[in-house]
Amino acid sequence: MIEFYVNKLPVSFEGPEDTPLLWVLRDHLKLKGSKFGCGIGSCGACTVHLDGRAKKSCTTRVSTVAGKQVTTIEGLASTDGTLHPVQQAWIDEDVSQCGYCQTGQIMSAVDLLANNSSPDDDDIAKKMNNLCRCGTYIRIRKAVHRASELMTEAD
């Protein structure tokens, strides 16, 4: 049995240790926010946080998360329902088109801003390497800048 935390709650998984974390989240825990895109860690639709850092869950074996904290898009907002500044910025900038990649984009943006609170366009281009089939990269960049502002205002 593999025990770990998802969105601050203890969970366990009994199954093959090489099961991708994505499938444990989606099929076992019924958390559907993280999406399957490519299965090889290239597109980023499955991005979650593992101990606070962005991680592609489709290529992360569940055995590697034992005892660790996994945060999904479902656990990003505060317990009172207040959206994370990145989530709010995504709404403010009307980022989503089809929306499929957006949960992974948001999780990557949170990680970027946790390590660089005021990124420039080059920083965003280098660190935000998730794919968006709809091409909303300009709105994604605007939302990252907006989230940076919201986070600064909150401090």
Q: pLDDT tens, 57-66? A: 999 999 999 9
First and final CA of the chain: distance in angstroms? 41
Q: pLDDT tens, 6-31? A: 999 999 999 999 999 999 999 999 99
63: its two tokens: 């055995």
Band (pLDDT 50/70/90 cuts) for residue 154 is confident
**What are the domain boundaries of the chain?**
2-75, 85-154
CATH topology of domain 85-154: DNA polymerase; domain 1 (1.10.150)
CATH number for the domain formed by residue range(s) 2-75? 3.10.20.30
Supply angle C-alpha 59, 62, 67, rounded to 5. 130
61 - beta bridge partners? 20
| Residue 41 Ramachandran class (φ > 0 left, ψ -120 to 50 alpha, else beta) | left
Query: Is the Cβ–Cβ distance between 21 and 60 less than 8 Å?
Result: yes
pLDDT of residue 97: 87
Taking only Cα atoms into account, the Rg of the chain, rounded to an integer number of angstroms, comes to 15
140: its two tokens: 């994604």
CA 39 to CA 130: how far, in whole Å?
Answer: 13
pLDDT of residue 99: 86
Domains 2-75 and 85-154 are alike in CATH topology: no
User: Does 155 have pLDDT greater than 80?
Assistant: no
Mean pLDDT on 41-67:
97
Mean pLDDT on 131-144:
94
